[in-house]
Amino acid sequence: MNVYLGLDVGGTKVAVGVVTGAGEVLSTLRQDTAACRSGGDPLREIIHLGRAALAQVDGAALEGVGIALPGPVNRDGITMRAAPTIPELQEVSLRGPLTTAFGVPAAGDNDANACALAEARFGAGRGGRLVAYITLSTGIGGGIVGEGRVLRGVTGAAGEFGHQVLLPAGGPPCDCGNTGCLEALASGRGIARRAALAFAAEPAPGGPDHGQWTAERVAERARGGDMRARDVWSETALYLGLGISNIINLFDPDIIILGGGVAVGAADLLHDPIREVVRTRCMPSLVRTVEIRIAELRGHTGVVGAACLAMEMQHL
Amino acid sequence: MNVYLGLDVGGTKVAVGVVTGAGEVLSTLRQDTAACRSGGDPLREIIHLGRAALAQVDGAALEGVGIALPGPVNRDGITMRAAPTIPELQEVSLRGPLTTAFGVPAAGDNDANACALAEARFGAGRGGRLVAYITLSTGIGGGIVGEGRVLRGVTGAAGEFGHQVLLPAGGPPCDCGNTGCLEALASGRGIARRAALAFAAEPAPGGPDHGQWTAERVAERARGGDMRARDVWSETALYLGLGISNIINLFDPDIIILGGGVAVGAADLLHDPIREVVRTRCMPSLVRTVEIRIAELRGHTGVVGAACLAMEMQHL
């Protein structure tokens, strides 16, 4: 059976899997990134995991290998330009080692583009012509997929949805150096920051030992009926709805997918309010042709996405 | 000589021209839109003008005809979905009549996409891989050109740069029905509105008979050293710089072109301040790879753009 090997290298976990051309995952293996790094040669460990996953599938005819990486990637060499969570791979070209190790063509990109491809091809974006995938977790990233391929722009950085400026003045600082970005306002970190302000008079949930506010705790509070927590989510939906309206007005997609831990975990608090904001703040002619959906793939998105990078390469 | 016929149908003027594949204009003719409409059949007049322009060029071998239209276009039939300035053409398919009249394939689109193609191919975007063209006049429109073709999105409406929301709450109303859009803040009309507020204590320039504030008058005042007028332009540059930063962060282009009457006429007041806003508010890694330029084509942009629509069709 013709298969693709997907290598999903994250800051905390490395997951690998054997994936069919129809997006079915035939085998997977995982390891902590720290464990991969402990021997000093994480790439060797990743290749070892990939070989082990392949060995679990009888009669696999490998077509290609794809690697999803936790940062900006130069795709020619499959080289991470910055790799804070796995510094051994920074500025190391992975194309040669991967091609040699598996004897097939290799492709690589950042994880947001890989997940965008996976959801567009096999998840909530099936059948879409132009799919914008937004990932909402600690930060906010994304990718645009048109006719089965990622629109990458000139340097490979297109789809930085989190760095739209929504507050021209007085917005919170963002990790990118700017202020008032969507990410600073509505990411998991942004939600926690606004919750901390809203609940400033009150100790953190569960008392001082219970740590800081998180999007998850704000969600629990909101579901319990706390109005301040509900306001935090309403504001989050406003910012995300405006960011999505901008994406629609600029790209004119037919499907928008909301993925990532916070979007999926708080879909009950976000999905309808976001749609309402988009309905009232996006160009009316475009609202009619676009659907906003929650991501469908669970668990294996990164692995399937990495495999999709290899599939995408074949359709150049 | 192989040539293309460009028909630029605007709300006030119709311009037609014979254009070479290198973008050289060999002949042009113009007529007021009102005069074209007066006989009740503007399409017949437009075709008549086009034939007259062709007759002025000896040995012209016509390759295709392109038409740029002042509103949203269904490209299959070359049909305007809305045509407030030339209602006789609303919902009329132009493909058949144009193909029959000129005996060559016909292409059509809205004027913003046509101008984007013209500037990308023959103007300030020459050599660019992904060019975002922003037109700043009464309103704000635009188009994205990648590898010589317009990125149109699913309904043909991609590139509505003017309808990014920059003020989540309390912004001025926009013609699109939303509030706080870039167009409502920084278009010619938006500049005039903010000037009227800034100079509220003072009569309109030239006295009550002199009419309303316009971007041009605010520019004259600013050049004369008036600090309130300068503030209006600084604020305009802030909004445009943020809108352009968002475009860069979302599309990752290598060239941004500012065109349209207000941008070209007030380039001295806008170009450097916009670049400064982008330098400080756009993702640092992307600022290095993008250039912001003022449109270069003068006068014939629409005609060359219409001809470019015909050229684009040949390269499908």
Give start and end residues of each alpha helix (H) in B127-206. Answer: 182-186, 188-198
A43: closest CA of chain B, how far (Å): 26
B207: closest CA of chain A, how far (Å): 34
Q: Is there a contact between A159 and B281 if contact means CB atoms under 8 Å apart?
A: no
Considering only CB atoms, which chain B residues are within 8 Å of A253?
Answer: 153-154
Tell me whether A130 touches chain B (CB under 8 Å): yes
Calpha distance B184→B188 (Å, rounded): 9
pTM of the model: 0.91
**Predicted pLDDT at A299:** 83
Tokens of A149: 């391929």
**What ranges do the domains of chain A cover?**
2-117+299-314, 127-294
Superfamily classification of domain B127-294: ATPase, nucleotide binding domain (3.30.420.40)
CATH class of B2-117+299-314: alpha beta
B29: closest CA of chain A, how far (Å): 34
Residuewise pLDDT in 10s, chain A (316 residues): 899 999 999 989 999 999 999 999 999 999 999 999 999 999 999 999 999 999 999 999 999 999 999 988 999 999 999 888 899 999 999 999 999 999 999 999 999 999 999 999 999 999 999 999 999 999 999 999 998 899 999 999 899 999 999 999 989 999 888 999 999 999 999 999 999 999 987 766 665 544 589 999 999 999 999 999 999 999 999 999 999 999 999 999 999 999 999 999 999 999 999 999 999 999 888 888 899 999 999 889 999 999 999 999 887 4
> Which of A155, A282, A289 has its CB closest to that of B286?
A155
Q: What ipTM was assigned to the predicted interfaces of this complex? A: 0.89
**Predicted pLDDT at B209:** 44
B32: closest CA of chain A, how far (Å): 30
Q: Is there a contact between B252 and A158 if contact means CB atoms under 8 Å apart?
A: yes
DSSP helix, strand, coil percent of chain A (3-state; round to 5): 45, 25, 35
pLDDT in tens, A142-175: 999 998 899 999 999 899 999 999 999 989 999 8
CB contact set of A44 (below 8 Å; sequence gap of 6+): none
Q: Which residues make beta-bridge pairs with B131?
A: B145, B255
Q: Element (H or E) spanning A291, and its range?
A: strand A291-294
pLDDT in tens, B274-296: 999 999 999 888 888 899 999 99
Same fold, B2-117+299-314 and B127-294: yes
For an interface test with B, the pick among A164, A194, A244, A316 (most B C-beta atoms closer than 10 Å) comes out as: A164
CA atoms within 13 A of residue B159's CA, in its CB half-sphere = 30
Residue of A nearest to B157 (CA): A252
Residue of B nearest to A250 (CA): B159
What does DSSP say about strands B255-259 and B130-136: parallel, antiparallel, or unpaired?
parallel
What does DSSP say about strands B13-20 and A255-259: parallel, antiparallel, or unpaired?
unpaired
Chain B 247-266, CB below 8 Å of chain A: which residues? 247, 249-254
Residue of B nearest to A81 (CA): B285
CA atoms within 13 A of residue A221's CA, in its CB half-sphere = 23
Calpha distance B132→B161 (Å, rounded): 10
Considering only CB atoms, which chain B residues are within 8 Å of A251?
Answer: 151, 153, 158, 250
Calpha distance B267→A222 (Å, rounded): 50
Q: What percent of chain A has pLDDT over 70?
A: 97
> Which of B154, B239, B246 has its CB closest to that of A254?
B154
Calpha distance A155→A72 (Å, rounded): 10
Calpha distance B123→B146 (Å, rounded): 15
Q: Is there a contact between A164 and B246 if contact means CB atoms under 8 Å apart?
A: yes
Judged by DSSP in three states, B291 sits in: strand
Using alpha carbons only, give the angle B309, B315, B316 rounded to the nearest 5 degrees: 95
Residue of B nearest to A141 (CA): B250
Q: Is there a contact between A249 and B164 if contact means CB atoms under 8 Å apart?
A: yes
Calpha distance A212→A67 (Å, rounded): 34
Written as one letter, the residue type at A278 is V
Tokens of B177: 């029905």
Residue of A nearest to B249 (CA): A160
* Strand ranges inside A10-129, DSSP E: 13-20, 25-32, 61-69, 73-74, 79-80, 106-110
**Predicted pLDDT at B314:** 82
Calpha distance A190→A243 (Å, rounded): 14
B224: closest CA of chain A, how far (Å): 28
pLDDT in tens, B19-35: 999 999 999 999 999 99
**Predicted pLDDT at A210:** 45
**Predicted pLDDT at B316:** 47
Tokens of A24: 């079915």
Backbone angles phi, psi at B183, to 5 degrees: -60, -40
Q: Is there a contact between B250 and A130 if contact means CB atoms under 8 Å apart?
A: no
Which residues in chain B come in under a pLDDT of 70?
Answer: 204-211, 316
